[in-house]
Chain A
Amino acid sequence: MELSVLLPFIVNVIVGGLVLGFVYAIIALGYTMVYGVLQLINFAHSEVFITGAVVGFEIFRVLQDSAMNGYLKLLLALLAAMTVSGLLNVLIERLAYRPLRGAPRLVPLITAIGVSLILQDVLRFLEGLQGRFDLTYTLPTGFGNKFCATDSTCAPVGNFLRTIGVDVQLKDVILVVVALVSLLVLNYVVNRTRLGKAIRAVSQDRVTAGLMGIDSNRMISATFLIGGSLGGVSGVLFGMKFGTVNAYSGFDPGIIAFTAAVLGGIGSIPGAVLGGLLLGVIQNLIGVMNIFGNLLGFANLGTIDASYSKIGPFIVLVLILIFKPTGLLGKSNVEKV
């Protein structure tokens, strides 16, 4: 096969991987924020995120026939999903984690898994009441348009993409923009505001921060609120990208995003983003490995098809844990005596 066909194919796969990676990155931020503050892996985050996806679906469904501007619908969906997922996360922390704050680490981990299972069935029940299981996103018309495919006066990026034959749908572009905006906002809140300073203080040393007059419980709630809202955003993005969600579809992306957080260095915000993007690309490249295998004549590669794509992230995780246990951007925790 000639290079002129193969090159756009590879670029397409990488671009697709990056788009997917942004979804993972935003989910991973939810894990990493909570871990940074509490050293707790919030396994219920995958359901918090799917709750956001369900709320987004409901908003799009209700607004389906209204003549409202498509971007306004999206904004409403995002805000609603952020609110519900954020509050849900705060509630989970209050009811399931706070009473166990002093318990050994394994205990809140098990509770987290329990909460995750309960949320799955609650979601299924609520949608099941209306006779639905697979929730199909009805996006505003136009969101599925190819980016700049028909418009000749489009932005330089669009022209560039068109020249190299990569197709990106408008919804992918929107997805990346929303993800970047949430990242910038998060970065601002954590690094530039009093709230962020307090959260960082609590994450460094809860007891000392308390002595300095910071209400650590309130800061932990704030962390869960922010993490949950990010989960809501990623849920809507996930629904937009794949078109369909159900109560159980949070598990796979949740565990991959968790891997992304560990890969980047759990507790590190830029690390989570880097990890998410890397895993998105790796996953998509492994999914098309058999094409290269067939082209290059490696019969063994030819059998590595899409069914292996999700193993990729975990192989990377194992390698990272062996060679750089703190993750790519993580700082090692020096125990002080």
Chain B
Amino acid sequence: MMKTALSLSVLAALALGTASAQTTIKIATISPLSGGQSNLGTQIRNGVQLAVNEYAAQFKKAGFNLQLVPYDDQADPATGTAAARKIAADNQILAVVGTLNSGVAIPASAALAPSNLVMISPANTANQVTDRGLANMNRIVARDDSQGPAGANFIMNNLKAKKVYVLNDKTAYGEGLAAEVEKALKAKGVTISGSEGTEEKSDFSSIVAKIKLTKPDAIYFGGIYNQIGVFIKQLRGAGIDTPVVGGDGLDSSELPVIIGKAGANNVYYTTVAAPLEALPAAKTFAANFQKTFNTPAQGFGAFGYDAAKVTLQGILDAARANGGKAPSRKQVMDTIRKGTYKGLLSGEVSFNSVGDRKAATLYVIKIKDGKAALETSLSVKPPKN
């Protein structure tokens, strides 16, 4: 009896103590901070840190002490999932921004789901990330299955092609992307003058001969830059200047190097990570980023920043709805899914029933004289609403 009374009073004292002091609210990031992809993962962490710095004053006014806890996933699913479990065990963490790799996001979000811990992704594009319909998984970038139709639309509307040759690299990524493009083109009555897959890395002579024979207006190649670069080099060498279009597998500064100066023209690709010049409000962001971290901001830094602003605004909204007290994880999760967020670098964000952004943007980059520049941006909608 004595013992119970004692513990009760201790509990009461503790409760009073936390009520009088500022409540600590934490958000976490999961991204690769070491290893081969740490450059991109650190961009995400830094983008989030910048948003946390900006929101700290607002949180203080509302009576909360805001903190960021970054976790390293090394681009590895197992490491990322372990980080997610640690995050779930820390009750002060109300939301997670992450990850870079879809392969990490899928198991990590599943590990966070039982504790209703919301995750907002600044980078994951695989369809499966949101197709599982988890209540806690949201993303602010476009899905893979919108890249195909976007590429097809660009080919039809901007390049005005009537006849297209479709190639893929026979991987899940390239084949899927090329199939989506072909489907979308066929639906609009564009002729497919050839469609094939090839794992070849150096000798494209028979394909080039066929392209020469069938004279397509455009070529779509679903694959990765090191293969497509060699193909384009040989295509241009054979005197064919037909535009070549691809997906974000071409998004590498190595591409023009492989093609060589003479042929690095008339190449286009769709990508989710915007060049900063494409984001309207990015100028101040880029300057702040440079000042704070002493390194230039890139696309994923901007998307990390945006994802963090969605998260922090969501937590503030949930707290307001909760009468000024710290909201529960479930309250934060539900508020974020329902909310609309304005004033972001990448425009307005609101989520559909499975956590896809209702109107996301894909960027089409053009390579001209070996330099990549923004050609156009396309608004894309997820399959569900």
Q: Is the CB of A306 within 8 A of B213?
A: no
Q: How far is the CB of A51 from chain B (nearest CB, A)?
A: 16
Q: Is the CB of B262 within 8 A of A144?
A: yes
1/0 contact string of B251-287 vs chain A (CB within 8 Å): 0001001101010000000000000000000000000
Q: Is the CB of B254 within 8 A of A288?
A: no
| Interface hit among B2-10, B204-212, B309-317 | B204-212
Q: How far is the CB of A310 from chain B (nearest CB, A)?
A: 8
Q: Which residues of B contact A134 (CB under 8 A)?
A: 226, 229-230, 254, 258
Q: How far is the CA of A253 from the CA of B196 in the complex (A)?
A: 22
Q: How far is the CA of A327 from the CA of B257 in the complex (A)?
A: 43
| Interface hit among B137-145, B232-240, B318-326 | B232-240
Q: Is the CB of B205 within 8 A of A16?
A: yes
A215 at the interface (CB under 8 A from B): no
Q: Count chain A residues whose beta carbon lies closer than 8 angstroms to a beta carbon of B.
A: 36
B202 at the interface (CB under 8 A from A): yes
| Interface hit among A91-99, A221-229, A243-251, A318-326 | A243-251
Q: Which residues of B contact A252 (CB under 8 A)?
A: 201-202
Given A16-B206, A249-B201, A138 and B239 contact (CB-CB distance below 8 Å): no
Q: Which residues of B contact A167 (CB under 8 A)?
A: 238-239
Given A12-B212, A305-B198, A243 and B206 contact (CB-CB distance below 8 Å): no
Which residues of A, 125-142, contact B by the 8 Å Cβ criterion?
Answer: 133-134, 136, 138
Given A146-B239, A242-B202, A306-B206, A9 and B197 contact (CB-CB distance below 8 Å): no
Q: Count chain B residues whose beta carbon lies closer than 8 angstroms to a beta carbon of A.
A: 32
A163 at the interface (CB under 8 A from B): no
B249 at the interface (CB under 8 A from A): no
Q: How far is the CB of B210 from chain A (nearest CB, A)?
A: 6
Q: Which residues of A contact B210 (CB under 8 A)?
A: 287-288, 290-291, 306
Q: Which residues of B contact A310 (CB under 8 A)?
A: 200
Q: How far is the CB of B89 from chain A (nearest CB, A)?
A: 41
Q: How far is the CA of A20 from the CA of B226 in the complex (A)?
A: 21
Q: Which residues of A contact B197 (CB under 8 A)?
A: 305, 307
Q: Is the CB of B233 within 8 A of A284?
A: no
Given A134-B226, A134-B254, A146-B239, A306 and B202 contact (CB-CB distance below 8 Å): no
Q: How far is the CB of B239 from chain A (nearest CB, A)?
A: 7
Q: Which residues of A contact B196 (CB under 8 A)?
A: 290, 305-307
Q: Which of A146, A249, A287 is in CB contact (< 8 Å) with B207?
A: A287
A182 at the interface (CB under 8 A from B): no
A111 at the interface (CB under 8 A from B): no
Q: Is the CB of B254 within 8 A of A9?
A: no
Q: Is the CB of A136 within 8 A of B257?
A: yes
Q: How far is the CB of A15 from chain B (nearest CB, A)?
A: 10
B199 at the interface (CB under 8 A from A): yes
Q: Which residues of A contact B237 (CB under 8 A)?
A: 144, 169, 243
Q: Is the CB of B205 within 8 A of A20?
A: yes
A106 at the interface (CB under 8 A from B): no
Q: Which residues of B contact A5 (CB under 8 A)?
A: 213
Q: How far is the CA of A12 from the CA of B208 in the complex (A)?
A: 11
Q: How far is the CA of A246 from the CA of B170 in the complex (A)?
A: 20
Q: Which residues of B contact A287 (CB under 8 A)?
A: 205-207, 209-210
A309 at the interface (CB under 8 A from B): yes
Q: How far is the CA of A13 from the CA of B207 in the complex (A)?
A: 10
Q: Which residues of B contact A169 (CB under 8 A)?
A: 237-238
Which residues of B, 176-211, contact A by the 8 Å Cβ criterion?
Answer: 194, 196-207, 209-210
Q: Is the CB of B199 within 8 A of A243?
A: no
Q: How far is the CB of B209 from chain A (nearest CB, A)?
A: 5
Chain A: CB-nearest residue to B226 = A134
Q: How far is the CB of B46 from chain A (nearest CB, A)?
A: 24
Q: Is the CB of A243 within 8 A of B213?
A: no
Q: How far is the CA of A9 from the CA of B237 in the complex (A)?
A: 17
Chain A: CB-nearest residue to B201 = A249
B: residues with CB less than 8 A from A are 170, 194, 196-207, 209-210, 212-214, 226, 229-230, 233-234, 237-239, 254, 257-258, 260, 262
Extra contacts, 9 of them, besides A134-B258, A242-B203 (Cβ < 8 A), are: A12-B209, A16-B205, A169-B237, A253-B202, A284-B205, A287-B206, A305-B198, A306-B198, A307-B199
7 A-B pairs whose Cβ atoms sit less than 8 Å apart in the complex: A16-B205, A20-B203, A133-B226, A169-B237, A243-B237, A286-B206, A307-B196
